[in-house]
Amino acid sequence: MGDTSHETGTDPIVVALGGNTLLGAHGLGSIDEQLEIIARTARQIAGAIQAGYDVVLTHGNGPQVGNLLLQQEGVSETPELPLDVLVAETQAQIGYLLQQALDNELTDSPDFITVVTQVIVDPDDPAFQHPTKPIGPFYTESEAAEKSFETRRVATGDRPYRRVVPSPEPVELVEGEELTRLVERGNLVITAGGGGIPVVRDGALRGVEAVVDKDKASQLLASELDADTLVILTDVEFAYVNYDTPDQRPLCRLSPEELRAHLDAGEFGEGSMQPKVEACVRFIEQSGERAVITSPEYLMDALAGETGTQVRA
């Protein structure tokens, strides 16, 4: 597939990769495990590109940014960098591994480029007073109690606790115009990783200590690029209501109004499926055509409308 096939003027699709499509168990797998998981995900993405979809990629960074934070706190010899700089680092850490895996799948196509991306947030966002975004490793209750930072129960099982940081709403992508031009000109782009680097614009741009939700940032990116489809890839084929209970039920095709009703009824896991569903609803409300939640192995079938949670206006 040559360069020109990307310059067809079709609307792009934005594919957002969840942590589990990139990493081993809870972000603590070895680099070899990571490379294997990323290669598997890249194969699915490459399939969609070879089928003619103009894919723009974005990804989460919760475990990775948490690891960087722990590492710099564990060593007194080196200066500590603020969270916005660490989010930047994860954009290249993950973007590099993804672009390399994709280049290896798509040998006849132009190379993917990873673009460092800042996202504007509101300095008065109430999230700065109420940290909710889980990052880094999972802890037991007693481990969590010993930490010097704020932790919260975000899962079930033996290790349900994680560090939490503020997660303000993304308002605007600083590099939005440049990204739009890159995508229009046929570049294969990885962008807005980890929700984007959180900055405020008070006279000048300035980084702030937060991690923006990657699903919300993916929706902003998809709307900004006038994408027709937003695909959120995670570890399940469908979004479910009453997940992990006897009443569990997959959601197949539904309207944003129906999905909004499930959201309002609190039927999704707060740190996991809820932001994904919210991003899908917002995308359609802001004139997107279709939003899909599924897992990487079902990507092609989901793009064909045959599986996954499909949301349409």
Q: Which sequence positions are flagged as catalytic?
A: 19-20, 133, 214, 276
Residue whose CB is less far from a copy of itself, 75 or 265: 75
Is there binding between residue 148 and a copy of itself (CB under 8 A)? no
Is there binding between residue 97 and a copy of itself (CB under 8 A)? yes
State how far the Cα of 301 lies from the Cα of 303, in Å rounded to an integer: 5
Cβ 118 to a copy of itself, closest distance in Å?
7
Number of helices (H) and strands (E) in the chain: give both, helices first: 9, 17
Stretch that binds a copy of itself, among 40-48, 103-111, 160-168, 248-256 (CB under 8 A): 103-111
For 230, the 3-state DSSP assignment is strand
Cβ 150 to a copy of itself, closest distance in Å?
18
Contact pick of 5, 116, 237, 285 for a copy of itself (by CB under 8 A)? 116
Structure token pair of residue 163:
């560090």
Cβ 174 to a copy of itself, closest distance in Å?
6
Helix (H) / strand (E) element for 104: namely helix 83-105
Is there binding between residue 248 and a copy of itself (CB under 8 A)? no
Residue whose CB is less far from a copy of itself, 31 or 265: 31
Q: What are the C-alpha distances in Å from 200 to residues 95, 168, 180, 208, 212? A: 24, 11, 21, 7, 12
Chain residues 56-85 in contact with a copy of itself, contact rule CB under 8 A: 67-68, 70-72, 74-75, 77-82, 84-85
Is there binding between residue 99 and a copy of itself (CB under 8 A)? yes
Residue whose CB is less far from a copy of itself, 17 or 292: 17
Residue whose CB is less far from a copy of itself, 201 or 312: 201
Is there binding between residue 4 and a copy of itself (CB under 8 A)? no
Q: List the one residue out of 54, 51, 62, 58 whose CA is nearest residue 15.
A: 58
Token pair 């209970």 is found at: 245
Signed CA dihedral, 204, 207, 208, 213: sign only: positive
Is there binding between residue 178 and a copy of itself (CB under 8 A)? yes
Cβ pair 61, 98 in contact under 8 A: no
Contact pick of 21, 58, 109, 118 for a copy of itself (by CB under 8 A)? 118
Signed CA dihedral, 285, 176, 119, 269: sign only: positive
Structure token pair of residue 249:
């039920």
Phi, psi of 112 (to 5 degrees): -70, 145
Residue whose CB is less far from a copy of itself, 87 or 236: 87
Residue 85 CB partners (closer than 8 Å, separation 6+): 207
Residues of the shown chain interacting with a copy of itself in the complex, contacts defined by CB under 8 A: 27-31, 34, 67-68, 70-72, 74-75, 77-82, 84-85, 88-93, 95-97, 99-100, 103-104, 110-111, 113-116, 118, 137, 174-175, 177-178, 181-182, 185, 187, 197, 199, 204-207
